[in-house]
Structure 1
Amino acid sequence: MSFAVPIGLAAAALAVPLALWYVLRARRPRLEVPSTFLWARTDRAVAAAVPWQRFRPDRTFWLVLLALLVGAVALARPTVRVPAEIGDHTIFVVDVSASMLADEGGPTRLELARRAAESLVDRIGPGQLVSVVEAGPRARVLLSASDDPAAAVRALGATRGSHGAADLADAFTLATALQRPGQQTVTHLLTDGVVAPDAARLAPPGLLVDAVGEDRPNLAVTRLQAVPTGAGAATVFAQVRNFGPLEVDARLVLAVDDADVMERQIALPPRGTEDLVVPVAYRADADGGLLRATVEPVGEDVTGASATDALAVDDRAWAVLATPREVHALVVGSGNVFLESALGSVPGVEVATSNGVPEDLSGVDLLVVDRIAAPAEARVPTLYVAPSQPPTGVTVTGELELPALTFSDPASELLADVDLSQAAFAAGQAVAAPALQAIASGPSGPLVLAGRLGPVPVVYLAFDLLQTNLPLQVAWPVFVANAVAWLAGPPATAPATAGTEATLTVPPGATGLEVTPPGGEPVRLDAVSPQVRVDQVGVWTVAYIGPEDVVDRLPAPRPIAVNPDPAEGDLARGRPEA
């Protein structure tokens, strides 16, 4: 509450003279006499008043004081500010983020938001205007300053739920631009979440937030990524979250190209998370593969009711598995049958040999330097095998006799399924390489190192293959296959997040790209700006545009895996009170 004329409260100061009057007023004592006969001839008045009194408020005082205070408040004109729901121009900003697709016992949150806005449109009078702004990953104006209530209802019905997060800052900027000078403008934001501080700074004056939705159970796949570990194999990292307030049992299924490869039961506590690391094998053909993770509740919750999931859009996630490619490996040295045979056994690897390192390495995907002087700078992914002259960044400080191997890094992708427990070494190099990490070592120093020299990935073996029994063990071809995948294999591609922009690559010879969302119409991109906003969850296909004879020779383009924003799955995240 506030006061329109606060100076009116000064009238309450009249209570001070009222109290003084009660103290100073003359008050004569009452005396009962049997007769006034003897007082009749008195020539002068008898003063018997007491000038100072104790303050004894009576009922009349309190009534007068109350009337005085009521009058003072009335003069101040008390007011209560009540936000106007409808103005000369009413703007509806409708949140269409993924969480607004959550089921609220029949209707979705988006449908509840539409109904709330339509009930306000019904109160629009003649001459009053309505605008509608859709707040999705990219905000857009669906209706601008219309005096037709039917058009406003149609615009609200045209709002479509997205699979990404809402860009409220962009939506507020559009809403502010729609305001007109001299009009009383009221802006309504219909949402299930609070306004972030960055967006709040751009909010139109007098923004009214209308909350929709309640806390609902929801299971979500919040992370899925596949890292290649060798030909036809990958390590899958998956994360499943329970956003609900109750414990729930869930089933997680991994599938490659629609064929189930793993099923696992998971018990998730309230607001709990489960991280899984799963090895997956797939058919190593030219198309790679698509990995899909699906989660669903099973059984009953702790209350005995059937477990439910309010948001379906985040129950699945996708990842694109690495596409095997031909690797041109060049082995330089005096010849090593162990290296050449192990490399030749890896699918897709073409092996060539040379006595020295050529100047032109443009056609080499993997260089193997075996017991000869290495180039000073690593230019392509390289496997060094006890080079006589190490590259820059690696220093040989001496020789090791009968080095023992006592440590191997179990987390290294190079040592996946590689058992070095039976490996023995007659000699080795004492190596110092600050930029590389030792993944296998002993008390005398590292024996296998990996990392990057500048931007180039390298693996360094500090021993001669003729001075160890490792090439005679099963671990050797497995290690070489892992090294090929780690050094020259296709990189792991992280899925895109719905609502973001994906930047693609147009190969030489192609004039553009054609990108098709799941169940949607293709979008053409030119070679100058090959960017597309991936606003739909699923797998987007990509095709090259250009002369047919050129496009046919290009490698098949990789699809784009698009997954929901993990934050959208939290249906209980902070939001305004309804």
Structure 2
Amino acid sequence: MSWISSLAPWQWALFASVPVGIVLLCFLKLRREPVEVPSTYLWSRTIEDLHVNSLLQRLRRSLLLFLQLLAVALAGIALFRPGIRGEASSQGRSVYLLDTSASMQSTDAPNGKTRFESAKEMILGRIEGMSDTETAMLVTFSDRPDTVQSFTSDRRRLREALQRVEVTNNPTDILGALKAADGLANPRRSSEVGNINDVQVADAMPADLLIFSDGSFQPVTEFSLGNLVPQYIAIGGKSHKNVAITAFSAERNIEQPSQVQAFATVVNLGSEPIETVATLAMDTEFLDAATVSLDPGEQTGLSFVIDNDEGVALRLSLDIKDDLAVDNVAYAGLSPLRNVRVLVVTPGNTPLELGLATEKAAKICEAEFVLPSYLGSDAWVNRADAGTDDLVIFDRCQPKEMPLTNTFFIGSLPPADDDETTDDWNWGSEPSTVSLIDIDRTHPMMRFLELFSLLIFEGRSVVGPAGATELVAADAGAMLVIAPRDGFQDMVLGFEIISTDADGLTQTNTNWYAERSWPVFVLNVLRYLAGAAEATGSPSLRPGETVRVRLESAIADPKLRRVGDTTTRDLTPGPNGVIEIVGVDVPGNYRIEDGDRLADSFAINLFDRGESDLKVAPSVELGYEAVEAATGGIEQRREYWRWALMGVLGLLAAEWWVFSRRVG
């Protein structure tokens, strides 16, 4: 039998005065003024009690007094919280590491509970069994740690902290939580090891490290347990059923941008064969479906084709009830095809006019051609400051100041910046014959391009500012370079398409306009640099990851909204139009909107095979030490103070019955 006091010493002193007061009340005689009334002659014994000769009287045997004192004694015992618990080794300090990752949502725990609920019950049992001399802290971990409650011996605070904890959709990383526990148990030093002046700045304070998890995290090798005594409490059942969507994406057909192609991967990570239906929908509209039949461990690929020119927010769901629901749904999005406004400033460029007039380019582009003299007008100044164009192409000319939009310079350079702290564009070589030697095939501007058959009669290498990317390399240096500028992008081509000879006559400087790659390049310029359409879908991130988005300066009031929800979240762009969005951990399609305009979009998906694989790890590796899973249940304290309180209530009821019979 063990005892846990629930009162402070001064509270016990106050409680001890209660039985003393009860006994004194029995010694005291009540002084009443006798009044004769007819009915008192019928109550001779009562009349005798009214005769008072002294203040105190001898203590008489009283059943009521015995019951009252016994009730107080039982209440005192209850305040000592008597109980029985197994004798387990303890350091007096415990660190509870609670896994809140997505896999803890699995419903394969006993009694149909989730693993997270089962782990919380185990920790609560530990908290209830603490003695007054024990302390504990609660740390949760998913992709990042959270110290919910620091070390305390107050069980109420620990219970409240445990109640606040919620499971997440995030993946698992235990290293941060281990470092939080390591700060207590292992002392730190003031300088490097080997220094004679090195001193230990804290005493070692060993602690029990209790990890409540299913073990779905990577082995932690770069960590030393030191004075931490680990115990891994495995949470989860022996058998499980789970089918997961581990990949889902959408993209437009580069040849037919109105055609959307969607691809998905479905894996059976359970222990039994499954057959289900995968349903593709856009918002609430059904689009397509496919049957999926998989044996344990097998996976399959799914593909869908739909026609849509607008913004696409796709949802793929599996019609099955398994142990983990969060990986049964996946999301993908695409921006809508939209017309872009392009201003072309040129003395004359027929190949460029033809490239912008092709059937595909004309569907997504409204091009306006003006002469270089237009750059000296007030209309240009107002237009450049307003940023009304999606792209401005400067062919063999340059403005005095850069417009507030993306630009493409052909055979010319952007003007120098007045700010001396920034780099300017420069020519890297003298005009000469150019031979191309390499292109960056990974960049969207270079998709589906073959340029090595081009003839370029004269060109100069381009040197861009800091952060510039070389897209096409030649023997003379970089020939096509793109660089960021305060939320915009500028691209420079180091050779002219159409040039002018010494007599002022127009002549071609390259055969590019006669190649099949020329209209493809113009389409890439419209789609990537002008933003007409993204061939690839919206980026997909995991729950909890930081979302970084670069917006145009024309976006005045961006708001974040999850597709299907009406609530919005205000966003504040940084100085370069970059927004960092944190705390997005609910799977779904998200849109960044400016009024009715779609500025950008992204999707949040689990897509973590480690979280979807619900096998419980038999052991975990911490600092090159294998910690086996606990085979027994968690030792809980069995308390009897509630029975003592029930006894108090029974004694009070008996006292009332005896008193009622005497008075009655």
Q: Same fold (TM over 0.5)?
A: yes
Question: Per residue, is there more helix in 1 or in 2?
Answer: 2
1:503 aligns with 2:526: no
Out of 149, 159, 171, which is 1:153 matched to? 159
Matching residue of 1:235: 261
1:561 aligns with 2:636: no
Corresponding residue SS for 1:246: coil
| Contact 1:236/1:279, CA 8 A, preserved across alignment | yes
| Contact 1:235/1:277, CA 8 A, preserved across alignment | yes
Residue-by-residue CA offset, 1:342-380 (whole Å, 9 max, x unaligned): 347743311345899342497897989xxxxx84999xx
Q: How many Å separate the matches in 2 of 1:464 and 1:182? A: 76
Matching residue of 1:104: 108
Out of 233, 257, 267, which is 2:293 matched to? 267
Matching residue of 2:99: 95
Counterpart AA for 1:208: Q
Out of 329, 335, 339, which is 1:326 matched to? 339
Q: Percent identity?
A: 18
| 1:124 Cα offset (Å) | 0.9
| 1:502 Cα offset (Å) | 1.1
| 1:273 Cα offset (Å) | 1.8
Residue-by-residue CA offset, 1:218-257 (whole Å, 9 max, x unaligned): 1122112222224433322322221112222232222223
Residues 394 and 143 (structure 1), Cα distance of their counterparts in 2 relative to 1, 3 Å cut: closer
Q: How many Å separate the matches in 2 of 1:209 and 1:177? A: 20
Residue-by-residue CA offset, 1:245-300 (whole Å, 9 max, x unaligned): 2222232222223322221112223212222343332243xxx2212111233xxx
Q: How many Å separate the matches in 2 of 1:540 and 1:337? A: 38
Matching residue of 1:314: 327
Residue-by-residue CA offset, 1:429-480 (whole Å, 9 max, x unaligned): 95599xxxxxxxxxxxxxxxxx86655699x997877x9xx9xxxxx99999
| 1:523 Cα offset (Å) | 6.3
Q: How many Å separate the matches in 2 of 1:197 and 1:115? A: 26
Corresponding residue SS for 1:500: coil
Counterpart AA for 2:580: Q
Corresponding residue SS for 2:248: strand
Residue-by-residue CA offset, 1:41-99 (whole Å, 9 max, x unaligned): xxxxxxxxxxxxxxxxxxxxxxxxxxxxxxxxxxxxxxxxx995643111111000001
Residues 96 and 83 (structure 1), Cα distance of their counterparts in 2 relative to 1, 3 Å cut: farther
Counterpart AA for 2:297: R
In the TM superposition, what are the counterparts of 1:92-491 in structure 2 within 5 Å? 92-104=96-108, 106-179=112-185, 181=203, 183-193=205-215, 195-198=217-220, 201=223, 203=225, 205-214=228-237, 215-229=239-253, 230-284=256-310, 288-297=311-320, 308-328=321-341, 333-334=349-350, 339=355, 341-343=357-359, 346-352=362-368, 357-360=395-398, 375=411, 393=436, 454=480, 485=527, 489-491=532-534
Q: How many Å separate the matches in 2 of 1:199 and 1:516? A: 40
Q: How many Å separate the matches in 1 of 2:280 and 2:92? A: 55
Q: How many Å separate the matches in 1 of 2:232 and 2:132? A: 25
Counterpart AA for 2:166: R
Q: How many Å separate the matches in 2 of 1:132 and 1:339? A: 64
Aligned length: 408
Corresponding residue SS for 2:319: strand
Q: How many Å separate the matches in 2 of 1:83 and 1:209? A: 19
Q: How many Å separate the matches in 2 of 1:319 and 1:239? A: 13
Q: How many Å separate the matches in 2 of 1:321 and 1:477? A: 24
Out of 576, 579, 584, which is 1:530 matched to? 579
Counterpart AA for 1:206: V
| 1:174 Cα offset (Å) | 1.8
Q: How many Å separate the matches in 2 of 1:487 and 1:506? A: 13
| Contact 2:309/2:337, CA 8 A, preserved across alignment | no
Residues 333 and 253 (structure 1), Cα distance of their counterparts in 2 relative to 1, 3 Å cut: same
1:539 aligns with 2:589: yes
Counterpart AA for 2:107: D
List runs of 5+ in structure 1 lacking aligned partners: 1-81, 298-307, 369-373, 379-388, 396-411, 416-427, 434-450, 471-475, 545-551
Residue-by-residue CA offset, 1:201-228 (whole Å, 9 max, x unaligned): 1556212111111342211221122222
| 1:521 Cα offset (Å) | 7.7
Q: How many Å separate the matches in 2 of 1:140 and 1:193? A: 18
| Contact 1:226/1:237, CA 8 A, preserved across alignment | yes
| Contact 1:512/1:527, CA 8 A, preserved across alignment | no
Corresponding residue SS for 1:556: strand
Counterpart AA for 2:397: E
| Contact 1:344/1:351, CA 8 A, preserved across alignment | no
Corresponding residue SS for 1:153: helix
| Contact 2:539/2:602, CA 8 A, preserved across alignment | no
Q: How many Å separate the matches in 2 of 1:503 and 1:231? A: 26
List runs of 5+ in structure 2 lacking aligned partners: 1-85, 186-201, 372-393, 415-431, 439-445, 457-470, 474-479, 483-490, 498-509, 620-628, 632-664
| Contact 1:218/1:569, CA 8 A, preserved across alignment | yes
| Contact 1:242/1:272, CA 8 A, preserved across alignment | yes
- TM-score, with normalisation over the residues of structure 2? 0.52
Q: How many Å separate the matches in 2 of 1:207 and 1:512? A: 51
Q: How many Å separate the matches in 2 of 1:359 and 1:254? A: 50
Q: How many Å separate the matches in 1 of 2:222 and 2:561? A: 35
Q: How many Å separate the matches in 1 of 2:573 and 2:437? A: 45
